[in-house]
A and B are shown apart, each in its own frame.
Chain A
Amino acid sequence: MENKPIVEFSHTSLQFPDVLANDDVSLAIYPGEVFALVGENGAGKSTLMNILYGMKQPTSGEVFVKGKKVVKQSPAGAIAMGIGMVHQHFKLVPSFTVAQNIAMCCEPKTKLGLYDFKSAEQTVRKMSQEFGLEIDPSAKVNTLSVGLQQRVEILKTLHRGADVLILDEPTAVLTPQETDELFAVIRGIVREKGMTVIIITHKLNEVMAISDRVGVMRRGKLVGVTETEKVNERILASMMVGREMLFDELDRHETSGETAIEVENLQVLSDRMLPAVNGVSLTVRGGEILGIAAVEGNGQSELIEAIAGRRPSRGGSIRIKGKDTAGMGPGQVRSLGLSHIPEDRNATGVSGVATVEENLIIGKHRQREFAAAGIHQKKSAIRTYAEKLFERFDIRGAGVTTQAKSLSGGNMQKVVVAREFSLGADVLLIAQPTRGVDIGAIEFIHKSILEKRNAGCAILLVSADLDELFRLSDRMVTMFEGKITGHFEAGEIEKSEIGYYMTGGVEEGEDA
């Protein structure tokens, strides 16, 4: 790897309206290597690759491809320079055949100037043999599995002459077998054809399995580049999430209550109808916070949604305060005394076009206090109540009559917290309570959660932020690919160690 870099970023930064997506990134990638780019969601990995592929322009800094400085790159220009990108969401025409998709934009013509289907199929057949990517050129894309569709995408970039291949979260949609096949393909094209492959991922076991070198990104910065064999998953995990504790110690009373959430051998499917939660069992008592530590996409979201009644479970059972919730919808589960802060506040936690007060009153809107006979809304009582919450939860914005979407992310989250914490529920499901929230609001939300715990509520907490989990949880479990991989009391494990269990390591001896 003494040769010249094939791709080089030099002090590249990209400023979005409210975040610095890439912060002074300098990175060289050499021909013939598999380079893995890892980091949490929003760390800037995809943004960096989008700059390389010409989809975004850096605000400062330079990019070089094969020694040439790239100015005002477009995807077409990037393709011409030999860069190919396979996006997370495929860009194929489902009703076209494999060959038609691959030959798109450079279709072979017959003498009469018509589309030469035969020649297109031949080319594809030849390529698929050459690169060891088995596929039927005449099959329609909509009949193919996701893994094969990805293969079509890869062939498409190769057909356009790419020698640098960017794969954005290629395994997110794949089954384990398909992942193995993909890795075999990557090794093949690198070894035989001298391709350079950049793979964006947050699954650390895959980094270890496939890459020669790895770069870790955190909050827009490239925090480390190293040869993969010199590190292990634990080191990478702590590089990915490692940050300092910024907060005071929280007030924590000893409490103990009855078991409030009991999940037994739960099975839940994801939106893609793949198993997302695979035999999870856990219990949460009153007065304790159980934290779930997991890398995004390992079933924790589906688990929470199933407990909240928002997603049907396929097997196992969920009991809230002793009542089996099988077949219940969110409304019925809530009526058992459950509140829920969802992970996606924009799409789920609030109605952006509704006013702040409309967002705050839901759940209580049919109570006598706010509706005569449960029908006629008492606007002034609602206003007073909303203003009270607005003040108590320190929501900053133009007032309770403005649309919720006009609030900043942190204040929108405070609206969700204010509503859910004021319903009088004693079982709380909390997902990503402080994602994208500024430090002051984080401190406030943490204190509110601890108050609820001290008051005897049973709390199940999911967070991608390990600091948050370590700060708040009384107990912690780690989840990986839908299963619980570890179970720890507070203080029993270090932040740097937990990454091992979050990425597939299994606790020795006892099971969770």
Chain B
Amino acid sequence: MKELKLLLAFKNKAKLNAGYLLSLAISIVLGLLVGAAIMAMGGHNPIAGYKAMLSGALSSKTAVGNTIAKTATLCLTGLATAIASQAGTFNVGGEGQLYFGAMASALLGAKLMGVSPIIGVPLCLLAAIAAGAFWAYIPAVLKVKMNVNEVITTIMLNSVAIYFCAFLSNGPLKTGERGIASGTAKINTDLAFPKVIRLSNLTTSIFLSAAIALFVWYLMKRTTTGYELKLTGQNPRFAKYAGLNGGRLMILGMLLSGAICGLVGMFEVFGLHKRFTDSVSNEFYYDGMLVAMIMRYEPTGIILMSFFFGILKIGGTGMEMIGIPDEIILIVQSVIIFFMAAEQGIAENLIARRLRKRAAAKSIGKEASER
């Protein structure tokens, strides 16, 4: 399971500092080098390959639009992971929350025929928030009240949500329209987010995404609530002693996380598909979770790193155009993650070795002086 592998890789919780950023830079360079080596082995010119990647992601208006849309999705899902983890809970269930948000908003959107966007869009936003938050509330309450590990429950609830939604969209709630293999009824298109750049995936939901990202950043970094969430996550014992209600804060973190995921689902439906389909997400949440973990749940870092991963993901199509398989991108990505996961171990090893050397030198000096 992808999510379990990720968990094993990133069980540590180090801080984002200069040393860490250096490791990150080295990992990215190594990742790109490994990608280059593989391209060269396949008889491709690596420089041309990476050029194609960049132009695939940034050279045309459509490409830029797609990259920005991808960045927004990564960024929101990443921030959703971060806000739950700030309170010390690990939300692995964003994918399911995303599906629920998408399904709830799609169903409501299809019901609101003839309703003006000024009323309809906020209603659908609320539906997505409620559905996503609800699906995060279950594991949160189980954790706080009965001490059930949220990693296990959120992973399980992912499957429940994904298959339940698939059942609905292929079964009882399947649209009656001809030529549609699966999916719910089409939403009121007046409520849909129009494209900002034609032919790209960039819709007006980007403005909402930006607002959400800003809000989450502000909440995490500048408010008393963010401060309380952080202290709870860092040391629950201390937080409790100091009088914070750790349980309530953990639930709040999860609710916010689930709400954001629900909104991501809605943006997919109201921006692109106009109905719920099984393909509403392609493991979008895990990509964001990865970005968040690599950036140590630091909101500013997540926003920046999302852009880099957005370029990688969209740039793959550019490489395809000159005949380089876009799986190279997956390799680059994996190598970066591999090194970042090993980062702590490698760094600790280097530090320990230096300390041992210093201690040895000291004891030799001491012995000499004693004689």
List the B side residues contacting A371 at CB < 8 Å. 223-224
Q: Is the CB of B227 within 8 A of A329?
A: no
Nearest to A350 among chain B residues (CB) is B238
**B contact residues around A352 at 8 Å (CB):** 234-235
Q: Chain A residues near B230 (CB, 8 Å)? A: 354, 358
Chain B hits for A353, CB < 8 A: 15, 234-235
Interface range, A side: 20 to 34
- Bound together, the chains give a CA A226 to CA B243 distance in angstroms of 49
In B236-264, which residues have CB < 8 Å from any A CB? Answer: 237-245
Q: How far is the CA of A499 from the CA of B223 in the complex (A)?
A: 51
Chain B nearest CB: distance from A220 CB in Å?
20
Please provide the 6 A-B residue pairs with the shortest distance between their CB atoms, ordered closest to farther. A331-B243, A351-B235, A334-B243, A351-B238, A351-B234, A362-B242
Known: A310-B240, A329-B243, A348-B238. 9 other contacts (CB 8 A): A334-B243, A348-B237, A350-B235, A351-B231, A354-B235, A358-B231, A371-B223, A375-B223, A376-B224
Residue of A329, A335, A351 near B245 (CB, 8 A) is A329
CA separation between A352 and B238, bound complex, in Å?
10
Interface residues on B, range: 20 to 34
- Tell me what chain B mostly uses at the interface: helix, strand, loop, or mixed: helix
21 pairs, CB–CB < 8 Å, chain A vs chain B? A330-B240, A330-B242, A330-B243, A331-B243, A331-B245, A348-B237, A350-B235, A351-B231, A351-B239, A352-B234, A353-B15, A353-B235, A354-B231, A358-B230, A365-B228, A375-B223, A375-B224, A376-B222, A377-B222, A377-B224, A377-B227
Given A348-B238, A375-B223, residue A331 in contact with residue B244 (CB < 8 A): yes
**Which residue of chain A has the shortest Cβ distance to B225 in the bound complex?**
A375
Q: Which residues of B contact A362 (CB under 8 A)?
A: 231, 242, 244
Q: Complex Cα distance A345/B230, Å? A: 19
Q: Is A424 at the interface (CB under 8 A from chain B)?
A: no
> Hey, which chain A residues are within 8 Å of B237, CB to CB?
347-348
Q: Are A348 and B223 in contact (CB under 8 A)?
A: no
Nearest B residue to A370 via CB reads: B224
Q: Which residues from chain B contact A340 at a C-beta distance below 8 Å?
A: 241
Residue of B nearest to A382 (CB): B227
Q: Which residues of B contact A349 (CB under 8 A)?
A: 238, 241
> Please, how many angstroms separate the alpha-carbon atoms of A101 and B171 in the complex?
56
Are B241 and A310 in contact, with the CB atoms below 8 A?
A: yes
Residues of chain B within 8 A of A366, CB atoms compared: 224
A340-B240 Cα distance, complex, nearest whole Å? 12
* Chain B residue nearest to A419 in the complex (CB): B242
> CA of A332 to CA of B241 in the docked complex: distance in angstroms?
11
Task: Scan A284-316; emit 1 where CB is below 8 A from any B CB, else 0.
Answer: 000000000000000000000000101000000
Contacting pair A374 B224 (CB below 8 A):
yes
Q: State the CA gap A363–B228 with chains docked (Å).
A: 10
Residues of the B chain whose Cβ atoms lie less than 8 Å from the Cβ of A456: none
CB of A358 within 8 A of CB of B227, answer yes
Most buried by A among B222, B224, B228: B224
Q: Which of B225, B239, B240, B243 has the most CB of A within 10 A?
A: B243
**Cβ contact within 8 Å between B227 and A365:** yes
Q: In the complex, which residues 209-232 of chain B have their Cβ closer than 8 Å to any Cβ of chain A?
A: 222-225, 227-228, 230-231
Name which residue of chain A comes closest to B247, CB basis. A329
Q: In the complex, how many residue pairs between chain A and chain B have their CB atoms under 8 Å apart?
A: 69
Is A32 close to B, CB under 8 A?
A: no
- Give the docked Cα–Cα distance between A377 and B243 (Å): 18
- A486 part of interface (Cβ distance < 8 Å): no
Which residue of chain B is the closest to A352 with respect to CB atoms?
Answer: B235
Tell me the bound Cα distance from A347 to B239 in angstroms.
10
In the bound complex, what is the Cα–Cα distance between A263 and B231 (angstroms)?
31
**Residue A342 lies at the interface, judged by CB distance under 8 Å to chain B:** yes
A366–B225 Cα distance when bound, in Å, is 9
CB neighbours (8 Å) of A379 from chain B are 222
Closest A residue to B219 using CB positions:
A375
> For the complex, what is the distance from the CA of A350 to the CA of B234, rounded to whole Å?
10
Q: For residue A375, which residues in chain B have a CB less than 8 angstroms away from its CB?
A: 223-225
| Chain A residue contacts of B235, Cβ below 8 A | 347, 350-354
Cα–Cα distance between A377 and B226 once the two chains are bound (Å): 10
Q: With A and B bound together, what is the CA distance between A363 and B224 in angstroms?
A: 11
What is the CB-to-nearest-CB distance from B244 to chain A, in angstroms, rounded to a whole number?
A: 7
The chain A residue with its CB closest to the CB of B218 is A376
Which of chain B's residues have a CB closer than 8 A to the CB of A332?
A: 243
Within residues 1 to 55 of chain B, which ones have a CB less than 8 A from any CB in chain A?
A: 15
Chain A's closest residue to B232 (CB) is: A351
CA distance A239 to B181 in the complex (A): 86
A312-343 contacts to B (CB < 8 Å): 329-335, 340, 342
Instruction: Give chain A nearest CB distance to B362 CB in angstroms.
Output: 12
In the bound assembly, the distance between CA atoms of A159 and B16 in angstroms comes to 51
Q: A342–B241 contact, CB under 8 A?
A: yes
CB-CB < 8 A to B241: which residues of A?
A: 308, 310, 330, 340, 342, 348-349
| Given contact pairs A353-B234, A358-B231, A362-B231, A376 touches B223 in the complex (Cβ within 8 A) | yes
Query: A342 vs B241: C-alpha distance in the bound complex, in angstroms?
Result: 8
Which residues of B sit under 8 angstroms from A374, Cβ to Cβ?
224
**Which single residue of chain B is at the shortest CB-CB distance from A374?**
B224
Interface string of A362-386 (1 = CB under 8 A from B): 1101100001001111010000000
Contact call B243/A365, Cβ cutoff below 8 A: no
Known: A329-B245, A353-B234, A354-B234. A365 touches B240 (CB 8 A): no
Chain B minimum-CB-distance residue to A362? B242
Docked pose: A310 CA to B230 CA in angstroms: 20
Which residues from chain B contact A330 at a C-beta distance below 8 Å? 240-243
CA distance A376 to B244 in the complex (A): 18
In the complex, chain B residues 273-315 whose Cβ is within 8 Å of any chain A Cβ: none
Closest Cβ of chain B: how far from A407's Cβ, in Å?
15
User: From A340, which residue of chain B is reached at the shortest CB distance?
Assistant: B241
Interface centre among A331, A332, A352, A374, by most B CB within 10 Å?
A331
Residues 329-354 of B at the A interface (beta carbon under 8 Å): none
| Chain A residues within an 8 Å CB radius of B224 | 365-366, 371, 374-377
Expressed in whole angstroms, the Cα–Cα distance for A479 and B292 within the complex equals 51
Q: Give B306 Cβ to nearest chain A Cβ, in Å.
A: 25
